[in-house]
Structure 1
Amino acid sequence: MTLRLVIFDVDGTLVDSQGHIVASMEGAFGAHGLPTPTREAILSIVGLSLPEAFVKLVPDHVDKRDSLTQAYKDTFVDLRATGRAQSPLYPGAAEVLAELATRDDLLLGVATGKSRRGLDHLIEMHGWEKTFQTLQVADHHPSKPHPSMVETCLAETGVAAADAVMVGDTSYDMEMARGAGVRGLGVGWGYHADEMLTRAGAVQILRAFPEMPAALETMWEVA
C-alpha cells in the first residue's frame, strides 16, 4: 500500500473567511488612518503571511507593516470573540474531510497563512484534533509561495512528493506546491480566479467539495 498525503489550505479552501478578513483589514487600516483597499485587493493577498500581505497592499507604507499586522490580529480576535464575524465551512468540507480521514492509505495535513493560534481555534471548533497529521502555519515558515510548508509536511509524514497533493484556492498555493514538486488541486470556490490557478500550475480545478475524492484518485492513477 502506497501512503499518500493531501495537504489543505484553509482560508478560501476549507472555510469562507472573506467577511472576517475584510472586516479585520478595515480595522487595521482604520487604526492607522489609512484608506482600506478594495475587497478585490484584499482577497487577492489571502494566503500570504500578514507582513507580506501588507507590503503588497500598501507598498508606500512598509514602515507600518508590523503595526498593521498587529492591528489586524487584534481586530480579528475581537471580531471572533464578539461573534461579529464568522468563517463558515464550505458546503461538503466537513463530510469530505471525515471520509478522507478514515482511509488507511491517506494522511491529511494543513499548510496555511494563518497563525498557529488561529488554526488551533479552527481545529477545536470543528473537532479536527485527530484529522490532520501535520500542521504548518505562517508563524514558522516563509510566506507562501515559498515551498517550506509543503516540504515540512512531506518530511514529517515521510510521504514522497509524487504521492502528495496540495489543495488550495490561490495561485500562491499552486506555486508553493509546484516549488515542492507536489501536484496542485485547485478549488473554484475561493479567492483567485480559475485562470490564475491554472497559470500557477493547478492540475485540475474542483467545483464542489464532493468531487474531491474522485479527483484525487484520478490524479494518482495518471501519476
Structure 2
Amino acid sequence: MSRLRLVVFDVDGTLVDSQGDILSAMGEAFERAGLDVPSRDVVLSIVGLSLDVAIPRLAPDADAATQARMVDWYKDAYIRLRAAGGVEASSPLYPHAREVLEALHRQPEILLGVATGKSRRGLDKLLDGHGLRPFFMTQQVSDHHPSKPHPSMLMAALSETGVDPGDAVMIGDTSFDMDMGRAAGMGAIGVSWGYHDRAALRAADRIVDDFRALPAVLEELWEPAT
C-alpha cells in the first residue's frame, strides 16, 4: 500500500492572482486612514501574512486603534470588490492550476490542503466561486492560527490528515510559505509566478516556473522516501 502524501497550497499568489483587489482594498484602507498608500511592491511583499500582522508592517507609525480600523476597512473594500467583479474575475486561477489540482486529486495516495492568510469567509467564497472545495481535505485559515511563517497551520494539517512531515510539502509564492514549511519539518516548493521575487524563495527545495511541472517535481522530491 502506498504511503499517504500531503500537498498543501498557499492561495493568493499561488493558486489565484488576486493582486488587483488586494492593491485596491489596501489603497482604500490607507486613504481612509489619511496615510500615503504604499507602492505595489511593498503591498505585495506582505501578501500571505494575516491582516493583523500585515497592516502594522505597512503602517508602523499608525496607532493600534487606527491599524485595527484599517484591517476592517481593507476587509470591507475587498468584499465589495469581489462581489462587484465575481470570484473568477477578481481572483482568477493561474494557468493550468485546475488541471494540475485535478490530476493530483485523482491519485489516491495524495491528499491536498490549503494554508492561507485569508479568513474562513474569504476562503469559502474563493473555493465555492471556483468550484474547488472538493479538492482540499484540510483547509487552514487565519481565523484559527498565528500568522505565517508560524507552523501552526501546517501542524494542524498534518494532524488532521495523519501524514508525517517527511511525506508532506508546502507550496507557495512567498518566503513566509517556505519558512513555514521548514518550521513544520516539511518540504517546500516555491512558485515563481507569485508576489515574492525568486530570490526570496531561497529556503525552497525546488522552484517551479510552470504549474504543469509540479507533479514531476513532487515525484523527484519524494523519490528518496519511496
* Matched length: 221
Amino-acid identity (%): 55
Give the Cα–Cα distance (whole angstroms) in 2 for the partners of residues 134 and 118 of structure 1. Answer: 16
Equivalent residue for 1:172? 176
Change (3 A) 1:62 1:146: farther
Further displaced range: 45-54 or 81-90:
81-90
Q: Under a length normalisation based on structure 1, what TM-score does the superposition of the two structures give? A: 0.97
SS in 2 for 1:97: helix
Q: CA deviation at 1:222?
A: 3.2
SS in 2 for 1:61: coil
Q: Under a length normalisation based on structure 2, what TM-score does the superposition of the two structures give? A: 0.96
Q: Runs (4+) of structure 1 moved beyond 2 Å?
A: none
Q: Is the 8 A contact 1:165 1:184 kept in 2?
A: yes
Q: Which runs of 5+ in 1 are unaligned?
A: none
Equivalent residue for 2:90? 86
Equivalent residue for 2:126? 122
Give the Cα–Cα distance (whole angstroms) in 1 for the partners of residues 166 and 190 of structure 2. Answer: 17
Equivalent residue for 2:165? 161
Equivalent residue for 2:8? 7
SS in 1 for 2:205: strand
Q: Is the 8 A contact 1:6 1:164 kept in 2?
A: yes
Kindly report the root-mean-square deviation, in angstroms, between the aligned alpha carbons of the 2 structures: 1.1
Q: CA deviation at 1:129?
A: 2.2
Further displaced range: 81-90 or 133-142:
81-90
Equivalent residue for 2:221? 219
Equivalent residue for 2:205? 203
Q: CA deviation at 1:128?
A: 1.6
Give the Cα–Cα distance (whole angstroms) in 2 for the partners of residues 62 and 125 of structure 1. Answer: 36
SS in 1 for 2:134: coil
Q: Is the 8 A contact 1:5 1:109 kept in 2?
A: yes
Amino acid corresponding to residue 25 of structure 1 in structure 2: M
Question: Is 1:146 matched up with 2:146?
Answer: no
SS in 2 for 1:145: coil
Matches within 5 A, 1:27-106: 27-63=28-64, 64-83=66-85, 86-106=90-110
Deviations 1:4-63 (A, max 9, x none): 000000000000111110001011111111111000100000000001001111111142
Give the Cα–Cα distance (whole angstroms) in 2 for the partners of residues 129 and 86 of structure 1. Answer: 18
Deviations 1:129-163 (A, max 9, x none): 21100000011100000000000000000000000
Q: Is the 8 A contact 1:54 1:62 kept in 2?
A: no
Q: Is the 8 A contact 1:29 1:68 kept in 2?
A: yes
Q: Is the 8 A contact 1:5 1:108 kept in 2?
A: yes
